[in-house]
Structure 1
Amino acid sequence: MKYKTIREGQQGLVTNHLGESLVVAGPCRLFLYRERIRMLNRITASQLQYLMIRHKDGEVEHRPGPCELFINPLEHETVKAIDMISLDANQMLVVYNQKEGNIQRRIVQGPILFAPTAHEWLHEFKWHGSDPNNKARMIPGKDVFNKLRVVPQHFYYNVNEVRTKDDVTLRVKLMIFYELRDVETMLVQTHDPIADFVNAVCSDVIAFAATITYEKLLKQTSVLSKLSTYSQLMRRSKHIGFEVTKVVYRGYHAAESLQTMHDKAIQARTELRLNTDLEEMRQKCEQMKLSKEVDRVEKQQQKQEAEAQHKHALERTNASTQRQCAEILHRAQLEKEALWDQARLDAAKGAKHADLEYLKGLKDLGVDLTRYLVRKQSRNAVDEEVEISAEQ
């Protein structure tokens, strides 16, 4: 016999000697006689969790948080607090539900905090995934997940044992970009889309390489980055609800011996190309020097010709100027002589006119002009004789 106190917020399971049990919630004080008490463990779930309760009768209950529960070993098999599933805007879940014997499927699109009910379960995807030690190698069943991403994604893959038309074996390195378009189609048509991509791209690359030689393949590697080369990949991706947006060719790898031969050939071609480039540059320099020399000679000739033309123009200008000056002087001399002649004529006319007026005046005075003129003429003759004698 003893007393037992159950504090507030606690619960206990009291069992008597007959095996009967009773859950007692605090606060209370019990007197135990031929009884024993077992304190019940308390479990809680936050607003980001839910409680998964498995009852003794096999029923499973999901109780979303925030909530609490005292684990009763007589009723509960297990009780767990499980985090809700957080979905981003580019994630979704495929959820199955059983109602009245029928299985239904629905798509849950993020962003959301999702807690499945007791009658629901999530689709588990198991796809090919990249090898951690070799990102270009795919391992079956490597990626196991429930959250389905609907954003553009990519993966690396190396297509091995690619044989060309001339029996050269290569490894072609690719990077494939894809995006999920139709979830329902994907769920119906495939269980591993990455495996479908790998198989389809292998078929396309092998079919492409089988029709051309090694040398042509090296010259046409840009074709391996075009979607038109991957017809099977495009058809298969569309059939399973995906879209392949881009395929990037990342190079190739050949056998060591072939690679060594190819490297030597590349080295030789590069050396020849460099020598050719150097020779072309040297020829261009010589041609440029010759062209510049010809231009310089032509410019010197043009300069000399321009100087000669300028000199001739100056001479012609000087001659023309001198000729014009001579003509001006000659015209001035002629004008001067004409003026002098005119002046003498005018003077003579004036003298004659004066004589005439003088004679008219004498006539008016009654002088006999005939006797006057004869006497004047005789006097002038005597004066001339005197002047001639004096000079002698």
Structure 2
Amino acid sequence: LVFKLGTLISEGLTICSVPSSRPHCFVTIHSLVLVRIVSDGVSHSQLNLTHDPIADMINAVSSDIVSLASQRTYEVFLQDTAYLGALESYPQLTSRAERIGYRISKVVYRGYQAPQRLQATHDEAIQSRVHLKLMSESEEQTQALEEFKLRREKERIKLKHEMEQKLQDHTQEMQKLTQDWVLEEERLVYQSALKLEAEELEAKLEVEKKEHQLKAAHLESLRELGVDMTRYLVARQPQFGPEKEVIVGAPTSTIPSNHSSTI
């Protein structure tokens, strides 16, 4: 790893750029390290541990960044770079600085720089993913539209069947009502005919009854007049014929010789 820039401002900050390499990937990460020289509690032996504290801290931050970046792909690195600004992401830097009498106040991530070819490849990959996503969304929309049309068609067919079923039920109900009405009308007509027939029969019987009463009264009046009812009734029978005469109520000797009878 080679730092492109390393500058120490006394009791201030260090600006460095750290290349992070993976197979087929070379990215330069720019970081700003705020350091402070510890004035109290620092022994002379600590200060003598290094002849170049800046180089030690650059090597430490380089190790931390390489360790962090090597665990991620290029795409994952671009999606999440917040960890590069967290002090806990640099354990080697903080421990090394404390051993040589310095304290790390803060590490600021200032961005990255990738080779043009890598960036172009990344841009193409992004465009390809965007294109695939758009195609997928378009396909999903087309599929959703087809499903929507299919649902509407099913609903239309279902509604049509329901309407046809309702119409059929209504027709059957009307036919049943019509049939019931016809049967009721026939029943009423039949009952009226029976009633009329019964009334006619009753009237006929009443007439016959009155006729019988009149005949009985007539016969009773004849009997009171002394008419022989037997001979009278026999004479009334049709077998005697209209040319024969029967004398009712007179002795047999008084019948004329021409066989005529006086009634």
Task: Give the structure-1-normalised TM-score.
Answer: 0.40
Q: More relative contact order in 1 or in 2 (CA 8 Å, sep 6+)? A: 2
State the aligned residue count. 211
Instruction: Give 1:253's match in structure 2, choosing from 97, 102, 113.
Output: 113
- Say whether residues 1:173 and 2:43 are aligned partners: no
Instruction: Give 2:178's match in structure 1, choosing from 305, 319, 322.
Output: 322
Question: Quick check: which one's helix share is greater?
Answer: 2
CA distance in 2: counterparts of 1:328 and 1:249, whole angstroms: 99
Read off the aligned partner of 1:171 and give its amino acid letter: I
- 8 Å contact from structure 2 (residues 56, 96) kept in 1: no
- Structure 2 CA distance for partners of 1:283 and 1:141, relative to 1, 3 Å: closer
Post-superposition offset of 1:264: 1.0
SS at match of 1:140: coil
Read off the aligned partner of 1:338 and give its amino acid letter: L
The aligned counterpart of 1:160 is: 17
Instruction: Give 1:277's match in structure 2, choosing from 126, 129, 133.
Output: 133
Instruction: Give 2:63's match in structure 1, choosing from 200, 206, 210.
Output: 206
- Structure 2 CA distance for partners of 1:227 and 1:305, relative to 1, 3 Å: farther
**Greater Cα shift, 314-323 or 274-283:** 274-283
Post-superposition offset of 1:336: 1.0
The aligned counterpart of 1:219 is: 76
1:166-205 deviation line (CA, Å, top 9, x unaligned): 59462333688xxxxxxxxx764469xxxx9x97797355
- Structure 2 CA distance for partners of 1:354 and 1:251, relative to 1, 3 Å: farther
SS at match of 1:347: helix
- Structure 2 CA distance for partners of 1:330 and 1:318, relative to 1, 3 Å: same
Read off the aligned partner of 2:136 and give its amino acid letter: E
Instruction: Give 1:229's match in structure 2, choosing from 89, 109, 115.
Output: 89
- Say whether residues 1:139 and 2:24 are aligned partners: no
Map 1:332-343 → 2, pairs under 5 A:
332-343=188-199
- 8 Å contact from structure 1 (residues 200, 236) kept in 2: yes
SS at match of 1:173: strand
CA distance in 2: counterparts of 1:328 and 1:161, whole angstroms: 106
- Structure 2 CA distance for partners of 1:230 and 1:214, relative to 1, 3 Å: closer
SS at match of 1:172: strand
- 8 Å contact from structure 1 (residues 209, 217) kept in 2: no
Post-superposition offset of 1:311: 3.0
- 8 Å contact from structure 1 (residues 174, 247) kept in 2: yes
CA distance in 2: counterparts of 1:205 and 1:358, whole angstroms: 150
CA distance in 1: counterparts of 2:107 and 2:229, whole angstroms: 148
1:207-226 deviation line (CA, Å, top 9, x unaligned): 34147549625524444355
Map 1:190-205 → 2, pairs under 5 A:
203=60
1:252-311 deviation line (CA, Å, top 9, x unaligned): 234xxx2x1122112211222232233224423433443344334334433432343233
- 8 Å contact from structure 2 (residues 21, 27) kept in 1: yes
The aligned counterpart of 1:295 is: 151
The aligned counterpart of 1:105 is: none
The aligned counterpart of 2:248 is: none
Map 1:93-104 → 2, pairs under 5 A:
none
- Structure 2 CA distance for partners of 1:225 and 1:313, relative to 1, 3 Å: farther
Map 1:1-392 → 2, pairs under 5 A:
139-141=9-11, 158-166=15-23, 168=26, 170-173=28-31, 188-189=40-41, 203=60, 206-210=63-67, 213=70, 216=73, 219-220=76-77, 221-222=80-81, 223-225=83-85, 228-232=88-92, 249-254=109-114, 258=115, 260-355=116-211, 362=217, 368=223, 374=233
Read off the aligned partner of 1:251 and give its amino acid letter: G
Question: Quick check: which one's strand share is greater?
Answer: 1
Post-superposition offset of 1:141: 4.0
Higher Cα Rg: structure 1 or 2?
Answer: 2
SS at match of 1:164: strand
- 8 Å contact from structure 1 (residues 165, 210) kept in 2: no
SS at match of 2:140: helix
Which runs of 5 or more structure 1 residues have no equivalent in the other structure?
Answer: 1-135, 143-155, 177-185, 380-392
Considering only aligned residues, what root-mean-square deviation do their CA atoms show, in Å?
A: 5.1
- 8 Å contact from structure 2 (residues 63, 92) kept in 1: no
Post-superposition offset of 1:233: 6.2
Task: Give the structure-2-normalised TM-score.
Answer: 0.55
